[in-house]
Chain A
């Protein structure tokens, strides 16, 4: 069965304390892996797409990486405004739909 698992479920960091979020997947025929940020009461906002193992993408304090079995979202020197739920999703060949993980809720304390 195709599956996407995110860990940890929740993460509390002090401002400036770097860490990583994990998204592991067991799917056949990965076409792409997507990271989103979701603020409370709002829709997910697109961050990154990764298509092949070894690929990396960066945006401000965020860096996403991809291997054959998992993706990491590295957060360097986070600020309180980085507090949000981070979702990953995978897209599989022959389907037009995404499989979403349950998300990691990040809380960055000043």
Chain B
């Protein structure tokens, strides 16, 4: 079974703090993704990576950065957390290619910024 593990289920941070969200997958997937999910807005892509040290901006990258130093690990960084970044954060991974590019998700991290 594919396993995508997010390091924390719940986080509470203060405005202005630097926040790290970690994601690890165990299936040797090339692609990894970070989404945020808000009521009524669905899943919105923040960043994705298709290889080690490679990254691409998604639809809402402002206020976020990412790091992928190893194939299995993809980190999302909030440089200076703000209250409007309170959300559910979801990590996913996938292979490349038609018939193989199913995205598998972690359990999510619910972040509250106070």
Please report A residues at the B interface, Cβ cutoff 8 Å.
31-32, 34, 36, 41-46, 49, 51, 87, 89, 91, 96-98, 100-103
Which residues from chain B contact A96 at a C-beta distance below 8 Å?
31, 48, 50, 56, 94, 96, 101
B103: which of A34, A41, A102, A103 is its contact (CB, 8 Å)? Answer: A34
Q: Does B114 contact A (CB under 8 A)?
A: no
B85 shortest CB reach to chain A, Å: 19
17 pairs from A and B in contact (CB 8 Å cutoff): A31-B98, A32-B98, A41-B110, A42-B108, A44-B90, A44-B105, A46-B103, A49-B102, A87-B43, A89-B103, A96-B56, A97-B45, A98-B45, A100-B44, A101-B42, A102-B40, A102-B41
Give chain B nearest CB distance to A105 CB in angstroms.
Answer: 10
**A97-B40 contact, Cβ under 8 Å, with A32-B98, A51-B98, A91-B101:** no
Find chain B residues with CB under 8 A from A102 CB.
40-42
Q: Which 3 A/B pairs are nearest by Cβ-Cβ distance?
A: A43-B105, A102-B42, A100-B43
| A49: nearest chain-B partner, CB-CB | B102
Instruction: Tell me which residues across on chain B come within 8 A of A89, comparing CB atoms.
Output: 43, 103
Q: Is B74 an interface residue (CB 8 A)?
A: no
For A91, list chain B residues within 8 Å (CB): 101
- Within the complex, what minimum Cβ distance (angstroms) separates A104 from chain B? 11
Point out the residues of chain A lying under 8 angstroms from B90, CB to CB: 43-44
Distance A32 CA – B110 CA, assembled complex (angstroms): 29
Residues of B contacting A46 in the complex (Cβ-Cβ under 8 angstroms):
102-104
Given A42-B107, A46-B103, A87-B42, 19 other A-B residues pairs in contact with their CB atoms under 8 A: A32-B101, A34-B103, A41-B108, A41-B110, A43-B106, A43-B107, A44-B43, A44-B105, A49-B102, A51-B98, A96-B31, A96-B50, A96-B96, A97-B33, A97-B45, A97-B58, A98-B45, A98-B103, A101-B42
